[in-house]
Amino acid sequence: MTRKTLKVALLQETDRGSRDANLDAIEAGLRKAAAAGAELVLLQELHNGPYFCQHESVEIFDQAESIPGPGTARIGKLAEELKLVVVASLFERRAAGLYHNTAVVFDRSAAIAGTYRKMHIPDDPAFYEKFYFTPGDLGFEPIDTSVGRLGVLVCWDQWYPEAARLMALAGAELLLYPTAIGWDPNDEQAEKDRQRDAWITVQRGHAVANGLPLLSCNRTGFEADPSSVGAGIQFWGSSFVAGPQGEFLAQAGTDARELLVAEVDLARSEHVRRIWPFLRDRRIDAYADLLKRFRD
């Protein structure tokens, strides 16, 4: 890593009601980010539409798109025009009956620099992702860009320290998480607070354990369950940028669209890893049981 600092931006958005409206909002956000001097922009998970996994419907598969395709073409064109590194998040149609939740990286070019397919797929009330997404098969491989090696992961991946660690071991210089997570409106406030705090804490822990800056971009706003079975999801926003000791560099609010901009000191990772040499002290000779589902 030769550069010292990097200005980053996170575009925390609501669903605008249509694919074109969402892409229009993304274009406006990317232009604002570029005007603010950002070089790297992270978008939220599945940003082209609503979070459709609240219910199971075969018609939803019609919304998936090929990669490359029309969605990547528009964002790639903007990345090239604005000279931005952009991390996007799409519902990928790989083949009939084979779909992924896929992050796509553009490096100041309309060409795709790399992709990551979400590895951990949840199946919980209001988050029925296993119906839609095949688990990723590209592994935990960082994507090389002009601003550094990006360890791109997606939403549910953020609860797994193994994912962040494997990205770090492969040379990632930043960890990035496009995300869609929120509250069940029926939960008590204390439970809502615990869930949001846990989400923030576990990701800050990944930054600390690996000595890396971390960017997490979540959506915001209420989205109803189209089936009317569930209570909908109130996405809690709270997008943030953390440094390699888990320190907040910037944090968005819970309930508003926001372009979050932060300056990341990339040189600090080297310093932090020298005073906290977690990679040095790993007992790789004693971790074989991590490959087991459970120790009976």
Q: Would you name the residues annotated as active-site residues?
A: 45, 118, 155
Structural tokens at position 80? 């090239």
Query: Residue type at 57?
Result: S
Listed in order, strand segments (DSSP E) in 134-213 are: 143-145, 148-152, 174-179, 182-183
In the chain, the N- to C-terminal Cα span, in Å, equals: 44
DSSP state of 286: G
Could you tell me if 256 and 222 are in contact, meaning their C-beta atoms sit under 8 angstroms apart?
A: no
Size (the chain), residues: 296
- Strand partners of residue 106: 86, 112
Structural tokens at position 209? 């354990």
Is the four-CA dihedral 205, 209, 214, 217 of positive or negative sign? negative
Structural tokens at position 179? 């995300």
Query: Buried b vs exposed e over 248-269: b needs ≥16 C-beta within 10 Å?
Result: ebbbbebeebbbbbbebebebb
Q: Which helix (H) or strand (E) holds 21?
A: helix 19-35
Could you tell me if 262 and 214 are in contact, meaning their C-beta atoms sit under 8 angstroms apart?
A: no
DSSP state of 254: S
Ramachandran quadrant class, 286 (left: phi over 0; alpha: psi -120 to 50; beta: rest): alpha
